[in-house]
Structure formats: C-alpha cells, structure tokens
C-alpha cells in the first residue's frame, strides 16, 4: 500500500501526453489513455527526423533518450564517427540534445537514434556538440536525400531485371515464366554482382 501511495505521489506535477478515450457527460466521467497518446506520437516519427531529447540514463552500450515521452536508444556506435571511449565523457543524464531517428519498430516500441549522422565532420559530437546541434536539420536533410537516391537506384535496378522480352521478377524475387523469346544477344548481366 505504501508503494502505491509513493507511486501516486510521484505523479503529482508530472506532465503526461493523454488522449481522450471516452467522455460521458451524464456520469461526469472522462477516460484518458497515455498508451494511445504515445502510439499516436510514435506514428509521426519518420526516419531521418530530427527531434529534441533528454538523456535519461547511461549504459555501457548507449544512452536512453526521452524524446517527448518515448524512450529511444542512442547506441554508443551512433554517438560519433570517432571512437567514444566512455559515454559519460560525451553525455550526462539531464543533457538536452538533438538526435535523428534511425529506425522505429512500432511493434516492439523501439526507437533507434543517432547523433553520428548529424556530425558535419567526423568527431564533432565529441569535440563540438554545439555545432552538431546547430547543423542538425541541414545534416539530416542531406541524409534523407541520400536515402531517397539509394531507393531510386534500387527501383531502377529492379526495372532493369524486367526487360520487355517478358521475363518478370515476382514480388518474392523469383523469375516468372517467359512469355516471349529471349533476345538473340541474350540478357546483359554484367551489372549483376558475382555470388560470394
């Protein structure tokens, strides 16, 4: 019972994101959900987005960052391009920083973060984090452009494997039946990497 009381007391003056679930005016009853509010805010986290976070705790493998009520992991390998000998030399609990969303697993509720991708030059997060945060949006925009270019090239490569001769590549990566004769000169497979 004392545990419940201390937990309730900890909630005093705490700000939580809430979503209305039910409003019953006749019974003067309102039902809120923190979980649904969190799910809605997580749905808006796009890869390459820059968000402000607060360092919650440090572990040997990385830092847990609160990004608006959602916990994300800034893995030690994603802090800087330079080697980080100890996370506490770069970050401390309570620090406010800008981080970029690397990935978001909605099913598991896991968010991976990076400051390494925001560095204008390798090692800036260790030597000059203020510069990293000033240039964060610019660097993230460059990152998103590179991702878009890579996706466009991947789509172009897929189209090359669908020549007009009728050879098709199904969604599971298996060549389908040939409905027309192959060209006399054969297919150009020079761009296909050799099997490892």
Q: What is the pLDDT of residues 98-123, one digit of tens each?
A: 999 998 877 777 899 999 999 999 99
Nearest to 78 by CA among 13, 25, 143: 143
Per-residue tokens: 145: 């452009």
Are 136 and 50 within 8 A, CB to CB? Answer: yes
For residue 140, count other CB atoms closer than 10 A to its CB: 20
Quote the tokens at residue 182.
Answer: 């192959």
pTM of the model: 0.58
Residue 9 clears pLDDT 80, i.e. is over it: no
Percentage of the residues of the chain whose pLDDT score is greater than 70: 68
* Token representation of residue 94: 């309570």
pLDDT of 155 over the 90 cut: no
> Hey, where are the domains in the chain?
1-44, 46-162
pLDDT at 183 over 80: no
Say what the pLDDT of residue 159 is.
Answer: 78
- Looking at domain 46-162, its CATH superfamily turns out to be Nucleic acid-binding proteins (2.40.50.140)
C-alpha angle 62/67/71, rounded to 5°? 50
Residue for token digits 């991947």? 154
Residue 81: predicted pLDDT? 94
Per residue in 125-150, pLDDT (tens digit) is 999 999 999 999 999 998 888 888 88
Give the pLDDT score at 16. 67
**Those residues with Cβ within 8 angstroms of residue 190's Cβ, 6 or more apart along the chain or in another chain:** none
């Amino acid at each position: 019972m004392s545990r419940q009381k201390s937990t309730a007391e900890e909630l005093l003056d705490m700000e939580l994101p809430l979503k209305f679930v039910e409003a019953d005016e006749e019974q003067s009853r309102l039902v809120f959900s923190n979980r649904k509010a969190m799910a809605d805010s997580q749905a808006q986290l796009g890869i390459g987005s820059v968000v402000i976070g607060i360092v919650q705790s440090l572990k040997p493998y990385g830092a847990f960052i609160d990004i608006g009520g959602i916990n994300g992991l800034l893995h030690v390998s994603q802090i800087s391009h330079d080697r980080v000998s100890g996370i506490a030399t770069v970050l401390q609990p309570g620090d406010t920083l800008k981080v970029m969303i690397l990935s978001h697993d909605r099913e598991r509720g896991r968010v991976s973060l990076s400051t390494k991708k925001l560095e204008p030059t390798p090692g800036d997060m260790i030597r000059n984090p203020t510069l990293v945060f000033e240039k964060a949006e610019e660097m993230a925009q460059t990152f998103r452009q590179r991702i878009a270019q890579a996706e466009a090239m991947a789509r172009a490569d897929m189209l090359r494997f669908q020549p007009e001769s009728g050879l098709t590549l199904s969604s599971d990566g298996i060549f389908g039946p040939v409905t027309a004769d192959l060209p006399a000169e054969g297919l150009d497979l020079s761009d296909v990497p050799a099997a490892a």
